[in-house]
């Protein structure tokens, strides 16, 4: 699956997705001072072995916009994405044990089951986040960055 992020000149960036069964409607991504939220999804879902928003799309769904919102694994992935997004905003990585504990509390507060995560997984996702953040920072306004979701080629 091919993801094309376009850096906007206003309040939004844009994501265009082409899955194996064809293109999806474009997604406006509100600027948030770090990489777009859906790029955080890519960083997490390209490493973690759990199906979230992007994998739902790759598998022929709409990513939860209309269906799949009840997918419990996708909801657990969403909580994980939110955790990494928070680290991006604060520019501070929590110690692994604190991250895992806070993730568990966040999931429990929302009625979700935490995914089994380890320090090794966190390190890999943080490295992916740093890499994609540096690449996105180098993209000029109006420029594009193309990513592919591993295991789901276009």
**pLDDT average, residue stretch 22-38:** 93
Instruction: Out of 22-31, 106-115, 130-139, 144-153, give the one with best mean pLDDT.
Output: 130-139
Residue 46's nearest CA partner among 142, 115, 132, 119 is 132
Tokens of 102: 């806070």
- How far is residue 120's CA from residue 151's CA, in Å, rounded to a whole number? 21
- % the chain with pLDDT above 70: 92
pTM of the model: 0.90
pLDDT of residue 56: 86
Q: What is the tens place of the pLDDT at every residue in 47-88?
A: 997 888 888 888 877 655 544 456 778 889 999 999 999 999
Q: Domain ranges in the chain?
A: 2-148
| Model pLDDT, residue 40 | 96
Instruction: Answer positive or negative: Cα dihedral of 68, 71, 74, 79.
Output: positive
Query: What does the H/E/C string look like for the chain?
Result: CEEEEECCCCCEEEEEEEECCEECCCEEEECCCCCCHHHHHHHHHCCCCCCCHHHHHHCCCCCCCCCCCCCHHHHHHHHHHHHHHHHHHHCCCCCHHHHHHHHHHHHHHHCCCCCCCCHHHHHHHHHHHHHHHHHHHCCCCCCEEEEECCCCCC
């Amino acid at each position: 699956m091919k993801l094309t992020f376009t850096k906007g000149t206003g309040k939004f960036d844009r994501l265009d997705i082409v899955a194996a069964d064809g293109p999806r409607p474009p997604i406006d991504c509100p600027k948030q001072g770090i990489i777009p939220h859906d790029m955080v999804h890519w960083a997490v879902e390209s490493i973690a072995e759990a199906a979230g928003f992007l994998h739902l799309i790759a598998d022929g769904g709409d990513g939860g916009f209309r269906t799949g919102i009840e997918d419990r694994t996708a909801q657990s992935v969403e909580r994980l994405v939110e955790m990494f997004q928070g680290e991006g905003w604060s520019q501070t990585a929590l110690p692994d044990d604190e991250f895992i504990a806070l993730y568990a509390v966040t999931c429990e507060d929302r009625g979700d089951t935490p995914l089994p995560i380890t320090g090794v997984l966190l390190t890999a996702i943080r490295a992916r986040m740093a890499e994609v953040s540096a690449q996105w920072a180098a993209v000029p306004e109006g420029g594009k960055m193309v990513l592919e979701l591993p295991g789901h080629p276009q």
